[in-house]
Chain A
Amino acid sequence: MRPLKLSMLGVRGVVGETLTPELIVAFAQAFGTWSGGGTILVSRDPRSSGEMVASAVFSGLLATGCEVVDLGVCPTPALQLAVRDSDSAGGVAVSAGHNDEEWNALKFVHGDGLLLNAFQGEELLDVFHQGAFTPADWTEMRPLRDGADGRDALLEQAKRVIAQVDRDAIARRQLRVAVDCCNGACSLTTPRLLQWLEVEPVLLNDTPDLPFPHVPEPSPATMSALRAVVKATGADLGLAHDADGERLALVTEDAEALSEEDTLCILADFWLAENPGPVVCNLSTTLAMDALAARHNIPLIRTRVGQAHVVEGIVAKGAVLGGEGSGGVIFPRYLLAHDALATAAWLLHFLAMSGETLSQRAASIPRYHTLKRKIPYGPERIYGALYQYREAVERDSQGAETDFTEGVRSVWSDGDGVPEAAIHVRSSTTEPFIRIIAEAHDPDRAERLAEEAIARLQTGP
């Protein structure tokens, strides 16, 4: 049986195994209790367990006296916008994001449109574990609103995104853009956005009724079909979506799949040239962000991994941009959430304004070789192994600067303080893995760092 992950990020599990209706109604009642009634918006990505999970969420929320608005299939950032811009008390996104079809999850949104922060997430978990939900009696039952609201949320998101960018400049470029919607929620939004921007769309996997054609995790490993389409149609670039419209990865006009780490880097490089200011990313995000921060002479703040942590960092530091190496970019003045639609629109805007190709921009990003490894560990062994690794690093840091905020991160810098190599060893926030992210200019060095880390994890003290 594959495990269940309950954390401040929400609840995630495999349908038919751990993510049962009983668990979902309990979590929904906990959230209804925690948010004190009021109106809760609910969205889902189109995976086939969505209705089962969403129905249980409706029941749990209604049972605690919440009014529920069913947005149907809708990107998570569109839900967050709708929550922020309405009087609603919160939102629940039914989506396992980049996880494969068999997974599903609940992401909880606060009334201000932000995912629950660590403190709020812990509170919700406490309510769940205590099981002391606040049931509504029959006179307190409130309606489940249905229908066109979901489509309104989609339109509103697209309108807001368009309003951010120079639509006419993009339209004048007469771009052709290939999009792999992965049959996810963006099947309903990105084609419309491109149409409004007068960009010629080449769509693949834009049928939300069908299963995901591949793991909905945008990265070079899942972009072979998109590359082929870009090549065949001579598109100016390719966009790859996850299931719920948070993450974006890119293919250049040469049909080269860029690392998902490049999405934030390319946007940050464009953005900081016009709007310098603090930037927030997570501890695992590529070292290229440090180099870009140095290029634009702005502070870079690294937080724990997870959108909620990055958003907290953005708010605390008044950052102008944020995101994660997984392909999620946050534009704070628009919305404090990963938003693939906004990311795509801004990318088109900057390319239109600069007249450059995507490959030219990618070439200007400082090159690091990034290795990502997932080492399966039983949940009962993860923390022991990480502790041993930390002790080993504390005994001998091998000349690196170390950071123990989340797992262990070691960074090696040159004489000028520009980072040359890094290794981050941490527990996955969503699955029973230890994640290792090794980076260096030289692929061999990255490989060596990863191998050393694995050896240190597995040999023990």
Chain B
Amino acid sequence: MTDSSHSSRPIQSLKISISGVRGIVGESLTPDLLVRFAQAFGTTMNGGLVVVGTDTRTSRRMVKHAVLSGLIATGCGTLDVGIVPVPTVQVEVERRRAAGGIAVTASHNPAQWNALKFIRGDGIFLSPHQAEELVDIYHQGQYRRASTRELLPVRCDTGAARRHMDLVLSHTDGERVRARRFRVVCDCCNGAASLITPEFLERLGCEVIPINTEPNGVFPHPPEPIPENLTQLADAVRASGADLGFAQDADADRLAVVDETGNPIGEEYSVALATEAVLRHTPGPVAVNLSTTALVDRIAARHGQPVLRTPVGEVNVAETMKRRGAVIGGEGSGGVIWPAVHYGRDSFCGMALLLSLLEEAGGTVTQLVNSFPRLVMLKAKTTCSTERAHAVVHEVTTRYAHEALDLRDGVKVTRADGWFHVRPSRTEPVVRVTVEAEGEEKALALQREVMALLG
């Protein structure tokens, strides 16, 4: 009976994966699905406290209330922290020693999408194994059902974002950064950071020119902070003569930078520059995923520190960092993880570290970028059925068997002057191909070589 809400249309937009449950509102992401998943998660929380926060999407209330209902029904306590960045939910889970958290956000997906991201008691997302367990509980439908006397009222707390900011700033030498009086344009994409970032930057002494800070969930451009989506920010930086521009995605875990000339330096630089900022003061290992720029290796080598590579996915990086005592890391897509603050991708950590580094380096963003070797990364994807994807990985592995291979997540081939990574997507029937080399020409040649193999 309750399944019937979406029985009449094909569900092509639903993605249940290790990164959560994603779907399109009005199609696959129905209240029924949401209350079931919330109950499945609540079942694993065993009556503990769950922190719930949302980004700014128009569907946030529909999704949040389904989540609250499902969690309450399983006897969980619920803390509604309102519209906040995803890292705020993670920090709040840790701070309150909660059993877990649910972030209602489809991150960099367009506005018609929404999703649930599940957070464990240590503030890290569910591991693949835990996510599979959750999906099993969801499918079995045997949820913990609390009796009336076990039901707990929803608590609300609007202070979580401020505490998160305070935490990041407590790890930052604010006085030195403030002295530079940076002029900064921030593009919050009308997302979860809209209400927070301007104040955050002001507390770092910046003169802030905010754009897209209406927290209405209507995104002025696709929320993924890649160069093609940053033209408005680039224009604003040029027009205002700012020192730099920051772009955050809808849930403010990812960060990209535009330099003082209005040129997007590329989201891969966020982790690389954060690595430089931390290793200057704090020696220790660095952890990034297999697809992250090799610039991180060059920077770590300068400081004599090892780089640990992990499969793609925030949880994989975060768990490795925690286990190996990494001092900085993240993902090349713009996700900086700074363990001093917490084990989650956090654009606020990224901004604090980048401004600190820029202050120390003393010059412009362009000068800072030019002080590192220039590597060119090319990303491509090619449609490929799931069965074929494994064959492709096998073929590449066989072909390059004599080279340095990493087979933990698809196949990655590393050479002295470049590398490539062939990885079947977990969410779409595509194979992703990332190559990086010194110079555009070498990178293109490498990309051609790999793509030819994929047919």
A and B co-occur in one complex: yes
Q: How far is the CA of A26 from the CA of B151 in the complex (A)?
A: 21
B67-89 interface with A by 8 A CB criterion: 68-70, 72-73
For B62, what are the chain A residues with a Cβ–Cβ distance below 8 Å?
Answer: 58-59, 62-63, 141
Is A400 an interface position by the 8 A CB rule?
no
**A-B contact count, CB below 8 Å?**
147
Contact A129 B1 (CB under 8 A): yes
A-B contact pairs, 26 of them (CB 8 A): A15-B147, A16-B145, A16-B146, A21-B35, A21-B39, A24-B69, A28-B31, A29-B31, A48-B153, A55-B72, A56-B69, A58-B61, A59-B62, A62-B59, A63-B31, A63-B62, A131-B2, A131-B7, A132-B4, A136-B25, A137-B25, A137-B26, A138-B58, A138-B114, A140-B26, A141-B62
- Residue A102 at the B interface, CB < 8 A? yes
CB pair A52–B72 under 8 Å, yes or no, is: yes
Judge whether B8 is part of the interface by a CB distance below 8 angstroms.
Answer: yes
Contact of A22 among B7, B25, B35 (CB under 8 A): B35
What B residues does A144 contact at CB under 8 A? 61, 65
Contact A15 B148, beta carbon cutoff 8 Å = yes
- Tell whether A53 is near chain B: CB-to-CB under 8 Å: yes
Compute how far the CA of A20 lies from the CA of B146 in the bound complex, rounded to whole angstroms.
Answer: 10
B36 contacts A48, CB within 8 Å? Answer: no
For B5, the chain A residues whose CB sits under 8 A away are 26, 29, 131, 133, 135
B319, CB-defined interface residue at 8 Å: no
Report B216-248 CB contacts with A as 1/0, cut-off 8 Å: 010000000000000000000000000000000
Chain B, residue nearest A26 (CB):
B2
Known: A52-B73, A55-B72. A22 touches B2 (CB 8 A): yes
The residues of A that contact B2 with a CB separation of less than 8 Å are: 22-23, 25-26, 131
How many Å from the CB of A143 to the closest CB on chain B? 7
Q: Are A48 and B30 neighbours in the complex by a CB distance under 8 Å?
A: no
Q: Binary interface profile of A, 7-42, with partner B (CB < 8 Å = 1, else 0)?
A: 000000001110011111110110000000000000
B154 at the interface (CB under 8 A from A): yes
Q: For the complex, is A113 an interface residue (Cβ under 8 Å from B)? A: no
B4 touches A22 (CB 8 A): no
Q: Are B65 and A135 in contact (CB under 8 A)?
A: no
Query: Cβ of B202 < 8 Å from any Cβ of A?
Result: no
Q: Does B111 contact A (CB under 8 A)?
A: yes
Please provide the chain B residues from 13 to 33 with a CB less than 8 Å away from any CB of chain A in the complex: 24-27, 30-32
CB-based closest 9 A-B pairs? A131-B4, A137-B26, A21-B35, A59-B66, A25-B31, A62-B62, A56-B69, A55-B69, A52-B72
Judge whether B8 and A132 touch: CB under 8 Å: yes
Q: Does A49 contact B (CB under 8 A)?
A: yes
The smallest beta-carbon distance between A192 and chain B, in angstroms, is 23
A20 to B58, CA, bound (A): 26
Q: Which residues of B contact A15 (CB under 8 A)?
A: 73, 147-148, 151
Does A47 sit within 8 A of B, measured CB to CB? yes
- CB-based contact A48/B61 at 8 Å: no
A21 neighbours in B (Cβ, 8 Å): 35-36, 38-39, 66, 69-70, 73
Question: Nearest chain-B residue to A19 (Cβ)?
Answer: B73
Contact of B31 with A59 in the complex, beta carbons under 8 Å: yes
CA distance in complex: A130, B61 (Å): 26
18 more CB-based (< 8 A) A-B contacts, given A102-B148, A143-B61, A211-B149: A16-B146, A21-B35, A22-B2, A24-B35, A25-B30, A26-B2, A53-B69, A55-B68, A55-B154, A59-B62, A59-B65, A60-B31, A62-B62, A62-B65, A101-B148, A102-B147, A128-B1, A135-B25
Q: Measured between C-beta atoms, what is the minimum distance from B70 to chain A in Å?
A: 5
B112 at the A/B interface (Cβ < 8 Å)?
yes
Contact assessment for A25 and B66 in the assembled complex, using a CB-CB cutoff below 8 Å = yes
**Interface of A with B (CB < 8 Å)?**
15-17, 20-26, 28-29, 47-49, 51-53, 55-56, 58-60, 62-63, 101-102, 128-133, 135-141, 143-144, 211
A396 CB → nearest B CB, Å: 43
Counting contact residues on chain B (CB < 8 A from A), the size range is 35 or more
Is B34 located at the chain interface by the 8 A CB criterion?
A: yes
Q: Which residues of B in the span 137-194 have a Cβ within 8 Å of any Cβ on A?
A: 145-151, 153-154
* B-chain residues with CB within 8 Å of residue A141 when the two chains form the complex: 25, 58-59, 61-62
CB distance from B284 to the nearest CB of A (A): 43
Which of B57, B58, B112 gathers the greatest number of chain A CB atoms within 10 Å?
B58
In the complex, the chain B residue whose C-beta lies closest to that of A137 is: B26
**Which B-chain residue is minimally distant from A14 (CB atoms)?**
B148
B63 at the interface (CB under 8 A from A): yes
Q: Is there contact, CB below 8 Å, between B25 and A51?
A: no
Q: How far is the CB of A91 from chain B (nearest CB, A)?
A: 17
Complex-state Cα separation, A49 to B111, whole angstroms: 33
In the bound complex, how far is the Cα of B150 from the Cα of A16, in angstroms?
A: 10
Q: Which residues of A contact B34 (CB under 8 A)?
A: 25, 59
Q: Hey, which chain A residues are within 8 Å of B31, CB to CB?
A: 25-26, 28-29, 56, 59-60, 63
Given A16-B147, A141-B62, A25 contacting B35 (CB threshold 8 A):
yes
In the complex, chain A residues whose CB is within 8 Å of the CB of B112 = 137-138
Give bound CA distance, A267 to B111, whole Å. Answer: 57
Bits for B37-60, please: 1 = Cβ < 8 Å to A, else 0: 011000000000000000001110
Check A17 against B145 for contact (C-beta < 8 Å): yes
Of B25, B114, B148, most buried by chain A (CB within 10 Å of CB) is B148
Residue of A nearest to B39 (CB): A21
State the CA gap A132–B7 with chains docked (Å).
9
Q: Is the CB of B4 within 8 A of A56?
A: no
- Residues of chain A within 8 A of B39, CB atoms compared: 21
CB contacts (< 8 Å) of B72 on chain A: these are 51-52, 55
Specify which chain B residues have a CB less than 8 angstroms from the CB of A29 in the assembled complex.
5, 31
Who on chain A is nearest to B144 by CB? A16
Residues of A within 8 A of B24 (CB): 137
**A16 surroundings in chain B (CB, below 8 A):** 73, 145-148, 150
Q: A53–B68 Cα gap in the complex (Å)?
A: 10
- Complex contacts, A62 vs chain B, CB 8 Å: 59, 61-62, 65
From 288 to 326 in chain B, residues with beta carbon under 8 angstroms from any chain A beta carbon are none
> Which residues of chain B have C-beta atoms less than 8 A from A136's C-beta?
25-26
Q: Which residue of A lies closest to B80 (CB)?
A: A55
CA distance A60 to B69 in the complex (A): 11
Residue of B nearest to A17 (CB): B145
Q: Tell me, rounded to whole Å, the shortest Cβ–Cβ distance linking A28 to chain B.
A: 8
- Asked if A52 and B69 sit within 8 Å, CB to CB, the answer is yes
**Chain B residues whose CB sits within 8 angstroms of the CB of A24 once the complex forms:** 35, 69
